[in-house]
């Protein structure tokens, strides 16, 4: 039977807003809480708070009661050891707080990212940033939208810039440092970023992009590319919940996403470190998430 994606979208949007209220409440609590309420996962920059867990519990239980036949993949459930492989069944894929570092610092680029995967492909996405009251939604084949804080619903992308961009040197590009701060990935990323930003007359391979940004949330990077505010987002090492909703929203806005098949194979390749300057092809919005 066909899934009624419109009604799933209505339900998940309402749920994302409830989650957003909890994220805002958590932000106030975290700002006044002792640092001990912030826990480290792999290392001192890979953070999780009690609110990541509480938001995921809320979302998982509400989705479970409304859609008992659907499966669920979530960042915190995965961390807690729930690692069932992805199947063809409808599967919600959720990052309760994407941008946990921003959340901890009160930097207002934080969201819940809620996606639905069917037959291993993302078909519906909801990204809600409660700090800015910005809601991004998309359904495969039906476009993607931004609902602003004053309730306007705008089709994405907002502006049409030349397609493809005449050159990388006219692009605003999002990159992320990620949480792996070992020498090898950090120096590979630094040199890639340096070539993107560098003046070609002085930096070999330099592209002198308009500039680079690090938003700190994979899902919001996708949303900003879909919006047209960023031309490109490149990151290595994303997880399915970071990108599931974003893939739908960005593709429906005309973006091109590469690498997502590997991500949705649910096994993350730890060592495939590409080079952004080589990865960028001709699409106007070229998002590489591997
Ligand atoms: C992280 C953020 C970050 C990105 C990482 C993600 P989290 O998610 O999206 O910007 O660089 O790849 O894992 O830990 O804040 O949910």
Interface confidence (ipTM) of the complex: 0.94
State the CATH number of the domain containing residue 131. Answer: 3.30.540.10
Q: For strand 232-234 and strand 172-175, is the pairing parallel, antiparallel, or unpaired?
A: parallel
State the CATH number of the domain containing residue 230. Answer: 3.40.190.80
| The one catalytic residue among 52, 56, 76, 95 | 95
User: Which of 176, 236, 239, 245 gets mutated to test ligand 1 (max ligand atoms within 8 A of its CB)?
Assistant: 176
Residue 46 annotated among the catalytic residues of the structure: no
Helix, strand, coil percentages for the chain (3-state, nearest 5): 35, 20, 40
* CA angle in degrees (0–180, nearest 5) for 217-222-223: 95
Residue 4 annotated among the catalytic residues of the structure: no
Q: 144 with 175, same domain?
A: no
Please report the atom of ligand 1 found closest to the CA of residue 98: 16
Q: For strand 232-234 and strand 211-213, is the pairing parallel, antiparallel, or unpaired?
A: unpaired
Tell me the residue range of the domain where 252 lies.
168-288
Q: 232 with 253, same domain?
A: yes
| Cβ–ligand 1 contact at 242 (below 6 Å) | yes
Q: 179 with 81, same domain?
A: no
pLDDT tens track, the chain, 290 positions: 689 999 999 999 999 999 999 999 999 888 887 666 677 776 666 667 889 899 999 999 999 999 999 999 998 888 888 888 888 999 999 999 999 999 989 999 999 999 999 988 899 999 999 999 999 999 999 999 999 999 999 999 887 655 667 778 888 989 888 888 888 878 888 888 898 899 999 998 888 999 999 999 999 999 999 998 888 888 877 788 999 999 999 999 988 887 665 555 443 333 333 444 444 433 334 454 32
- Atom 16 in ligand 1: residue holding the nearest Cα: 98
pTM (2 decimals)? 0.91
User: Which of 176, 218, 238 gets mutated to test ligand 1 (max ligand atoms within 8 A of its CB)?
Assistant: 218
Tokens of 119: 């037959």
| Cβ–ligand 1 contact at 176 (below 6 Å) | yes
Q: 10 with 53, same domain?
A: yes
Last residue of one domain, picked from the residues 155, 181, 213: 155
- Whole-number Å distance, alpha carbon 194 to ligand 1 midpoint, is 22
Q: 14 with 99, same domain?
A: yes
């Amino acid at each position: 039977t066909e899934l009624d994606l419109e009604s799933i979208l209505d339900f998940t949007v309402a749920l994302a807003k409830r989650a957003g209220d909890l994220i805002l409440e958590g932000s106030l609590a975290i700002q006044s809480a002792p640092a001990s309420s912030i826990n480290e996962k792999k290392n001192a920059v890979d953070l999780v708070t009690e609110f990541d867990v509480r938001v995921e519990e809320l979302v998982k239980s509400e989705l479970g009661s409304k859609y008992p036949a659907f499966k669920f993949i979530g960042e915190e459930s995965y961390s807690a050891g729930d690692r069932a492989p992805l199947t063809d069944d409808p599967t919600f894929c959720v990052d309760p707080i994407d941008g946990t570092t921003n959340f901890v610092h009160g930097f207002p680029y934080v969201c819940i990212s809620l996606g639905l995967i069917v037959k291993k492909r993302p078909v519906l996405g909801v990204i809600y940033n409660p700090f800015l009251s910005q809601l991004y939604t998309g359904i495969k084949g039906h476009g993607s939208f931004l609902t602003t804080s004053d309730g306007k619903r705008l089709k994405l992308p907002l502006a049409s810039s030349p397609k493809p961009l005449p050159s990388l040197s006219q692009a605003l590009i999002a990159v992320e440092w990620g949480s792996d701060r070992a020498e090898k990935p950090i120096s590979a990323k630094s040199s890639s970023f340096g070539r993107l930003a560098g003046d070609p007359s002085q930096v070999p391979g330099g592209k002198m992009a308009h500039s680079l940004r690090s938003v700190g949330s994979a899902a919001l990077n996708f949303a900003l590319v879909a919006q047209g505010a960023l031309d490109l987002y490149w990151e290595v090492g994303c997880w399915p919940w970071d990108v599931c909703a974003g893939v739908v929203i960005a593709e429906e806005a005309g973006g091109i996403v590469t690498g997502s098949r590997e991500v949705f194979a649910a096994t993350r390749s730890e060592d495939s470190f590409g080079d952004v300057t080589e990865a960028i092809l001709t699409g106007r919005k070229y998002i590489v998430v591997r």
